[in-house]
Structure 1
Amino acid sequence: MIDLRWKSALFICALSIVSIFLWLITSLTTALIVFSVGLLFYVVNHIFWIHQLNRWLKSPDLSQVPEGTGLWEDVYSSLLKYERSNTLKQTELNSALERFQIVANAIPDGLVILSAANTIEWCTSHAEYQLGLSLKTDINLPIVNLLRNSHFIAYLYNEVYDEPFKLKDVKNAESTLEIWLIPLATKQKLLISRDVTQIEKVDAMRRDFIANVSHELRTPLTVVGGFIETLSDMEGAIPDSIRSYFGMMQDQTTRMRRLIEDLLTLSHIESNTQAPDDNPINMSMLMNMLLNDANALSQGKHRISVQTNPHFDLSGAVDELQSALGNLVSNAIRYTPEGGEIKINWQLRDDQGIFSVTDNGIGIDQQHIHRLTERFYRVDRSRSRETGGTGLGLSIVKHILTRHQARLEITSELGTGSTFSAVFPKARIIQK
């Protein structure tokens, strides 16, 4: 730009010097005419090359860049270099985009980019096949217009994507897709669809096996337990020297029956694909029921308090939620030493319903927290047996909460206590 300005200044200076020289040797009129003609030529020349530039910009072609004269030669030369650099970058960008498309389409999972308004911006061929989409016709359309599943829509707008969503394949009712939503920094979302049909079949076989075995074991255990109890109650039927063994058999039989009941409950919840009931639940009444059950289980050994927000209720299956929330309360009592304090709360936080149980019991080391909801996982196996735990309670709680689009939050410190919170979405809160 400095060179161009100097060239313009030099031309004007040269024209001015010539005009002054003519004024001195001829007349002012002649000098003005020469200066005006020179200036007019200068302006017309610029207008001509500007017109040429405008014509070229309408259909840019590197092979037809005007050559220009004077300072316009430098302008077109710089423009040619810029266009060549831009074309090279565009070629590199297209090449990178093509490689990305090849890699993305090679991934067996379907990938969909959703905008902040949940419209389709891009997707892979696997996503088109699995979700019944077409990038050519469905681009910029809302995803909810194409995947008309009420549970998926609730999952999408709930904006809690800690767990995947199971969706039946739109083309094959026997196939199951696992949908993950990952929020991106630009308020977009990455939707990942994965075919988990075979995994679901294997999991169903496992559930059926556990349910069948548990069902078959329940009857003989009931009979054995009944005989042991009958013999224990019969005077003189059991010698005093072995009566303690019958007590041990009775305890182990009871523990096995409790384990089988929990296995059957978990199997029933996992195999139930229907949405839970959406009945209004009076939380004040439910909290009082949980308090009564907690006092009965504690037998006065703990200080138990309840704090309830009476202005908000919950929507869901009352039997399932009573079982899940009661499990959290009973766990707090089992793992809190005698004389400890247990607080049960129902409150609203950020438009979400929070049911929490806080105790000052033994606490849990951080390394165990993320595994607490696994089946049969125990932090202390010996203590779990002492308290009568089966290792399935929190797994049942997690599945019940997931069915209600809720999640379980656990905070704990070893030796200080724990807080187990069931967090319910805004859609399940009923304001009185």
Structure 2
Amino acid sequence: MYEPYPVPELARDHKKSRYSSLRTFAKQDLKLLAFLLIIAAFIGYGTGYFLLCAVFAFAVFFAFQLYSLYLVNEWISNRPYEVPPNLNGIWGALLFNFYRAQRQERVVQAEMVGLIDRAQSSLVALAEAVVLTDELHQIEWANPAAEALLGIQALDRGRNLLTILRHPRFIEYFSHIDQYPDGIRVKLSIEDEKYVQIKLTRFGSESLLLVAYDVTRMQNLEQMRKDFVDNISHELRTPLTVLSGYIETFTDQEDISPRWKRAFDQMQSQTRRMNALVNDLLLLSRLENEKQIPKNQIIEMPSLMNQLFDDAQAYNADYGHTLNLEIDSHYDLIGSDMEIASAFSNLITNAIKYTPKGGSITIGWHDDGEQAYFSVEDTGIGINPKHLPRLTERFYRVDSARSRQSGGTGLGLAIVKHVLMQHAAHLEVESVENQGSVFKAVFPKSALYFVD
């Protein structure tokens, strides 16, 4: 670590005693005062004006202190970064300590500036766009990548961020950052087929850090995957329908042998399962591609809940569970009755399938005045907490063997998630292994319709 200025003589003189008490430095002033008083005593003894000489000695000492104070003030006011005047006594100690603290502070500042320069150089080299805004959301700094990805130039410093990024989805995200923990993906330009993932992070009081990166390749791969699933699902539907029809025809023959009947029953079971998978894939593809049907229908929840309860009782015939229905809310839902019924039905059938025979399942519709929720509570096998974050991923299975045995497609909760997202709702899961689970579809007040 370098020393920006030469060490003054005062600092060298006091280097070994810089941590001594104030008494050490005061002794120098006392020695000077004692020296002046001795001279005054000799002169006073010779002239007979002892008291006057003593007063004069004190005046000289006081004048010297005033002069030292003047030098200290002049150095601090006009030359604080130069070597301080070489003074003894308390004023010299004061100058030395002040100068030493100043030097240490400047070294720390130099290190901080170097650290900031290195950090800024790193940010400049990033391929990701980085933008800093102040409390008024005005741009303070942006790296070169911000111009390529977001169109933010050096001349935009001091402008409000929303005057540059005016995409409707970004404005919505900017106003409700906490509702998008992973940020948003937007296509900023209609002409340019470029997709950008944007994440905002608060720091300080109201300052923001924006990080954005190009996800065009990822978006294209995802779109290719969705198109493939959509196309293959449509292509599979027709042959499956033909196969199912022929298998059903052969199964209904009265003269068919038991051996062939068992084989056709298995084929029919598998074609039904395959058909259910294709239907779920088509529904999920439509939901993901946002090919939405109108979401402005008023869904009468008592009627829907009773219909779901009747369907559940029919599905429950082979399981023997105790089913309960609870409705204590006067709110109806605003949305798509077909999509909502599909999502709720998935939650109910999952509870029935994954609850050992003779269990208890409660289906409910409740509200707390601010939001309403559809719930399914079971006494089933439960779910290990480590699986909860991935439950809504397509084809994710907690227990693959059990899922295949129950005939599930692995898409039910993925469909539930997308249906709820399109209704501004979300899914909450509480579960304890071997004790049961509670699935809640929570809807905001904006999606509710009050019934008198």
**Aligned equivalent of 2:284:** 266
Q: CA deviation at 1:411?
A: 3.1
Matches within 5 A, 1:163-174: 163-170=182-189, 173-174=192-193
Cα displacement string for residues 301-334 of structure 1 (whole angstroms, at most 9, x for unaligned residues): 3333344563666665554343323321221122
Residues 251-262 of structure 1 aligned to structure 2 (within 5 Å): 251-262=269-280
Return the match for 2:111 from 92, 102, 110. 92
Aligned to 2:339: 320
Q: Corresponding residue for 1:397?
A: 416
Matches within 5 A, 1:12-411: 25-26=48-49, 28=51, 31-32=54-55, 35-36=58-59, 38-57=61-80, 61=81, 64-71=82-89, 72-113=91-132, 122-134=141-153, 137-138=156-157, 143-156=161-174, 157-170=176-189, 173-181=192-200, 190-233=209-252, 236=255, 238-239=256-257, 241-272=259-290, 277=295, 286-299=304-317, 301-308=320-327, 310=329, 316-347=335-366, 354-404=373-423, 406-411=425-430
Distance 1:297 1:375, change over 3 A: same
Distance in 1, matches of 2:347 and 2:206, equals: 36
How far apart are residue 145 of structure 1 and its match?
4.5
The 1:171/1:137 distance shift into structure 2, 3 A limit, reads farther
Q: 1:123 to 1:351 in 2, by over 3 A?
A: farther
- What TM-score do you get using the length of structure 2 for normalisation? 0.77
Q: Percent identity?
A: 37
Secondary structure at the aligned position of 1:159 is classed as helix
Aligned equivalents of 1:131 and 1:309: distance in 2?
49
Q: Distance in 1 between matches of 2:116 and 2:274?
A: 60
CA distance in 2 between partners of 1:241 and 1:380 (Å) = 32
Structure 2 Cα separation of the partners of residues 348 and 22 of structure 1: 102
Cα deviation 1:236-263 (Å, max 9, x = unaligned): 5x45552332222222222111111111
CA change 1:388–1:38 in 2 (3 A) is closer
Distance 1:418 1:382 in 2: 20
Alignment partner of 2:130: what SS? strand
| Cα distance between partner residues in 2 of 1:257 and 1:165 | 34
Tell me, yes or no, if the aligned pair for 2:37 and 2:54 is still in contact at 8 Å.
Answer: no
Deviates more, 1:115-124 or 1:258-267: 115-124
Contact kept in structure 2, 1:158 and 1:425, CA below 8 Å: no
**Cα pair distance change 1:22/1:292, threshold 3 Å:** farther
Where in structure 2 are there 5+ consecutive unaligned residues? 1-20
Q: What is the alpha-carbon distance in structure 1 between the residues aligned to residue 298 and residue 38 of structure 2?
A: 96
Cα displacement string for residues 97-119 of structure 1 (whole angstroms, at most 9, x for unaligned residues)? 22222323333223345668766
The CA deviation at 1:360 is 0.5
Cα gap change, 1:320/1:192 in structure 2, threshold over 3 Å: closer, same or farther? farther
Q: For 1:416 and 1:137, locate their aligned partners in 2 and report how far apart those are by CA, in whole Å.
A: 58
2:380 maps to a residue whose letter is G
Deviation at 1:134, TM superposition (A): 4.0
The number of aligned residues is: 425
What's the offset of the Cα at 1:341?
1.7
Residue identity in the other structure for 1:295: Q
Task: Out of 35-44 and 263-272, give the one that drifted further.
Answer: 35-44
Q: Distance in 2 between matches of 1:102 and 1:74?
A: 42
CA distance in 1, matches of 2:200, 2:125: 20
CA change 1:305–1:187 in 2 (3 A) is farther
What's the secondary structure of 1:242's corresponding residue?
Answer: helix
Give structure 1 stretches of 5+ with no counterpart. none
CA contact (8 A) 2:139 2:156 kept: no
Letter in 1 for 2:430: T
- Cα separation, partners in 2 of 1:82 and 1:380, compared to 1, 3 Å: closer
**In structure 1, distance between residues paired with 2:397 and 2:373:** 25
- Tell me the distance in 1 between the aligned counterparts of 2:325 and 2:186: 39
What is the alpha-carbon root mean square deviation over aligned residues?
A: 3.9
Distance, in Å, in 1 between the alignment partners of 2:76 and 2:308 is 82
Structure 2 vs 1, CA of residues 88 and 405 (structure 1 numbering), >3 Å: closer, same or farther?
farther
Change (3 A) 1:135 1:423: farther
Structure 2 vs 1, CA of residues 9 and 30 (structure 1 numbering), >3 Å: closer, same or farther?
A: closer
Distance 1:246 1:170, change over 3 A: same
Retained in 2: the 8 A contact 1:132–1:171? no
Structure 2 CA distance, aligned partners of 1:46 and 1:275? 85
1:159 CA displacement: 0.7
Q: Which stretch of the first structure deviates more once superposed, 6-15 or 203-212? A: 6-15
Give me the whole-angstrom Cα distance separating, in 2, the residues matched to 1:151 and 1:36: 79
Instruction: Give the Cα separation in 1 of the matches to 2:386 and 2:85.
Output: 73
TM-score under structure 1 length normalisation:
0.80
- For residues 168 and 281 of structure 1, do their structure 2 counterparts lie closer, same or farther at Cα, with a shift above 3 Å needed? farther
CA contact (8 A) 2:293 2:336 kept: no
